[in-house]
Amino acid sequence: MTLSIRENLSTSLSHIFPDAPGLGPIRFFSAPGRVNIIGEHVDYAGGLVFPAAIDFRTHFAIRTNGLGLIRLYSLDFQSEFVTKDPIYSVEKPWANYILGVVSEAHKLGLKVEGFDLVFTGNIPQGAGLSSSAAVEVGTTFALSKIFSWDITKEKIALLAQAAENHFVGVNCGIMDQFVIAVAKPSSCISLNTESLEYSYHDLDLPGYEFYLIDSNVKHSLKESEYNDRRKEVESATSKCNKLSPEVQTLSQANFPLIEKAGLTPSEFKRATHILGERSRAQNVIRSLKDKNAEMVGKELFSCHESLSKNFQVSCEETDFIVEWFRSENVLGARMIGGGFGGCVLVLDKDGRSSSLFSKFEKEYFQKFGLNAKIYRFSISEGVREDSSDR
Answer yes or no whether residue 222 interacts with ligand GLA by CB under 6 A.
no
Answer yes or no whether residue 176 interacts with ligand GLA by CB under 6 A.
yes
Among 100, 173, 276, 332, binds ligand GLA (CB under 6 A): 173
Answer yes or no whether residue 40 interacts with ligand GLA by CB under 6 A.
yes
Q: How far is the CB of 339 from ligand GLA (least distance, A)?
A: 7
Answer yes or no whether residue 33 interacts with ligand GLA by CB under 6 A.
no
Among 1, 175, 253, 343, binds ligand GLA (CB under 6 A): 175
Among 337, 357, 372, 382, binds ligand GLA (CB under 6 A): 337
Q: How far is the CB of 11 from ligand GLA (least distance, A)?
A: 33
Q: Are 337 and 36 in contact (CB under 8 A)?
A: yes
Answer yes or no whether residue 338 interacts with ligand GLA by CB under 6 A.
yes
Among 43, 104, 232, 319, binds ligand GLA (CB under 6 A): 43
Among 27, 41, 57, 280, binds ligand GLA (CB under 6 A): 41
Catalytic residue list contains 176: yes
Q: How far is the CB of 122 from ligand GLA (least distance, A)?
A: 18
The region of 37-45, 109-117, 195-203, 297-305 touching ligand GLA under the rule CB under 6 A is 37-45
Residues 293-322 binding ligand GLA (CB under 6 A) are: none
Residues 98-137 binding ligand GLA (CB under 6 A) are: 130
The region of 8-16, 36-44, 251-259, 366-374 touching ligand GLA under the rule CB under 6 A is 36-44
The region of 1-9, 170-178, 197-205, 344-352 touching ligand GLA under the rule CB under 6 A is 170-178
Q: How many residues form the binding site for ligand GLA (CB under 6 A)?
A: 11
Answer yes or no whether residue 214 interacts with ligand GLA by CB under 6 A.
no
One-letter-per-residue 3-state SS of the chain:
CCHHHHHHHHHHHHHHCCCCCCCCCCEEEEEEEEEECCCCCCCCCCCEECEEEEEEEEEEEEEECCCCCEEEEECCCCEEEEECCCCCCCCCHHHHHHHHHHHHHHHCCCCCCCEEEEEEECCCCCCCCCHHHHHHHHHHHHHHHHCCCCCCHHHHHHHHHHHHHHHHCCCCCCHHHHHHHHCCCCEEEEEECCCCCEEEEECCCCCEEEEEEEEEEECCCHHHHHHHHHHHHHHHHHHHHHHCCCCCCHHHCCHHHHHHCCCCHHHHHHHHHHHHHHHHHHHHHHHHHCCCHHHHHHHHHHHHHHHHHCCCCCCHHHHHHHHHHHHCCCCEEEECCCCCEEEEEEEEECCCHHHHHHHHHHHHHHHHCCCCEEEECCECCCCEEEEECC
Active site residues: 176
The footprint of ligand GLA (CB under 6 A) covers 40-41, 43-44, 130, 172-173, 175-176, 337-338
